Amino acid sequence: MDKLTPSQWKVVNKPYEPASTLKVTAGPGSGKTLTLLYKVLHLVTVENIKPDEILIFSLTNKAVDNIIENLLSVFEYSHTSREIVSQIGCYTIHGLANRIVVENEGMVNIIEEIGWRGLMKLLPPSKRTPHYFKSYKELEKVIKDYKLNGNRSSNIVARDANSVIEKLVELMDNCKVMTNDDLIIRAKKYLELDCSHADASSSFTQDLQKKYKVVLIDEFQDLYPSLSPLITTICKGKQLIMFGDTNQSIYEFLGCNRQIMLQLDNLHPRFSTTTLKLFDNFRSTPEIISLASKVINLPPTEKPVLDDTDETPPELVRKLPCGVSPQLVSFDDLVAESEFIIDKITQLVCSSAKFSDIAILSRTNSHLTKLASVLKKYGIPFQKLKSQPDWMDDLRIQFLLDILKVCSLASDEKHSHGFNTSDKWQSDFSLLVTMSAIKGVGDASIQALYKACGLKNLSIWKYITMVPNFEWPLGFSIKKKIENYTSNLYEMIESDQIHQLEDPLELIEKISEIINNLNLNPMYFQSMSDSQSSSEFKSHLQEMAQVMKVSKLNKPPSISFVKWFLETYFDQTMTFHQAKQTLQTAGPGTIKLSTIHSAKGLEFPIVFLTNGSVSNFPMDTNSLYVGMTRARNLLYMCNMKHQSLVTKPPSYSKSIMSNEFFWDYYRRDLNRSASGAKMTHDYSIRRYNQLRTNFGFYRAYSSINRCKSVFRRI
């Protein structure tokens, strides 16, 4: 506790009070996470709140990972601390909603890109013209609009396509296919059930209703209105503690943050609501903070007083000046910008920086992809930061998961015998998605088959296995393709083999064999003959297999392995990711590439912040502020086009390498040894000059192969 500043201690020491709200305004680098962690420690050790009565949630997996990892250190890394931390509920908001719904309904489908593409197949031709739906993303927007407004929609597209959209929504409901917004609404419904009735809700749902006493929300400025139904239901009557900073609100495209904050501010009586502020900044240098404050029009020395008992804090910025101001530069094209970034990276790694110290942040993924190709050509190691692992975004993996869902759900359905059953068939959606990917099976065939199943009131699987193929409303060649699909899945489903396989690798092997025997449309999948694509897929498949192994270790005895994995792989992925982080070793590491949105909550010693060399749009103020305040010591800003900033022509000076004062400061800030630094300084300058002269850094992409070997040695 002696690590805390007065403003942090005031938050930590605020007494527990049921049905109250504590709102903590905490700017970047103010020790928000540390304060949250010590608040949890104080609740457990002083306020006698049990660990399993504390619930923490945030919007991103990485924020949750960070909280869980650091809670262990706050409770002093012991067997007891692991037991305590394991009892504290720590979830993403959507992860928590998913757990509620799965616990009450069983397996659900959160619709991804391949699912939206499958739904497009069910649209009649007139509804797929440019006048209606140009892409699956437009269909996604129209379905969301229909669910919100129904027949009252003001959207002409939605009104014209109403009957078609209604049928698609009915299919999604029958097959438990949900958007993330649906998940939130469905979770709220279960929380509102009366638990006094038998089997009204499951144990986790009951805990959320009655057991938890304190709810902590991290980064309240990231919340948006569609989350409100679930969050307000969970928090009402409990002590709500919120941490955040309105200057870092960058998710306005999802909805107005002020709207949900107004609801949370009014959740409890005003006399039970307290607002406190963390004043200090421990992260960034005074040079960076001064410029960032200018961007949001906040004087660097401003210290607002929130009530009469507040004392003016000592200094806002806790770090001493480093002597190097942020560099603002402008470029006409990508080549010039790339040369500048590569040149600066070379200087930095020839001094005291590691690749892992450096982050390149941009507003768009497309610009990051272009910069990634440049780094790759020069042999510079890099890693893209994303909101979820790459394997979960791979269309081929999504297809594999859908085949698993077909086998599992259709196997369950086989116990319902005969025709004219009134059951709603959950397997239909995954069947439609996977059939749509077969080469030569067109939209008209999919629609005709689905219509025929509806007339028989049968699931698609029962129809294609029980109804003679001469009754199918399909051409001869299409029938052959559907029969091939059926025969490949038949044994897994009809003999219940899918629920008997307990070994992850054996299960993957069986499903991969099935997929290999299907003649899939190359429009859906990247060519497996492409070595890079094949290597990427192999890597993603290996990571999925590792998550499956984690899932097997956590599986209860009352459920089959495949069903458990399909119901919980989002949670199991987070568990695997946490374990993987602890195994990361020291070394030069990799440069981090990230959008500003994905970098939120993170910090890096050195940041290159770019708006794109051909962008005509200024970066919005909050995104610019968030990007700037990710940097601890060095900040390079390219093409910002913001009214508060003045950019200059790029400088290729070696002054940063010669600045021994800065590098001493840098090593102290990162707790690195300065041993031998002065002896190697001259050598570092020579190494940089040799690299620049021999390998033509100012001639775009020249001598790239030789550059690769040099960077590997660095």
Residue type, 378: Y
Tokens 């409770």 belong to residue:
75
Q: Please tell me the distance from the alpha carbon of residue 345 to that of residue 360, in angstroms, as a whole number.
A: 11
Q: Is 696 annotated as a binding residue?
A: no
Residue type, 132: Y
> CA nearest 541: which of 405, 396, 385, 434?
396
Report angle CA 300, 27, 595 to the nearest 5 degrees: 110
Neighbours of 177 (CB within 10 A): 23
Per DSSP, the three-state class of 609 is strand
609: exposed, middle or buried (Cβ count in 10 Å: 0-12, 13-18, 19+)? buried
DSSP alpha helix (H) spans, 437-503 = 443-456, 460-466, 476-494, 497-500
CA atoms within 13 A on the CB side of 268: 19
Q: Is 32 annotated as a binding residue?
A: yes
Query: Which residues have C-beta within 8 Å of that of residue 287, sequence separation ≥ 6?
Result: 321, 322, 323, 324, 325, 326
> CA nearest 343: which of 706, 654, 607?
654
Q: Is 28 annotated as a binding residue?
A: yes
Per DSSP, the three-state class of 365 is helix
Region for 443 from its dihedrals, namely left if φ exceeds 0, alpha if ψ lies in -120 to 50, beta otherwise: alpha
Query: Which residues have C-beta within 8 Å of that of residue 32, sequence separation ≥ 6?
Result: 24, 26, 218, 243, 278
Exposure string over 138-155, b if 16+ CB within 10 A, otherwise e: ebbebbebbbeeeeebee
Q: Is 31 annotated as a binding residue?
A: yes
Q: Please tell me the distance from the alpha carbon of residue 134 to that of residue 140, in angstroms, as a whole number.
A: 11
DSSP secondary structure string for all residues of 390-448: HHHH-HHHHHHHHHHHHHHHHHHHTTS-SSS-----TTHHHHHHHHHTBTT--HHHHHH
Q: Please tell me the distance from the alpha carbon of residue 262 to that of residue 274, in angstroms, as a whole number.
A: 14
User: Residue positions in the annotated binding site?
Assistant: 26-33
User: Residue positions in the annotated binding site for ATP?
Assistant: 26-33
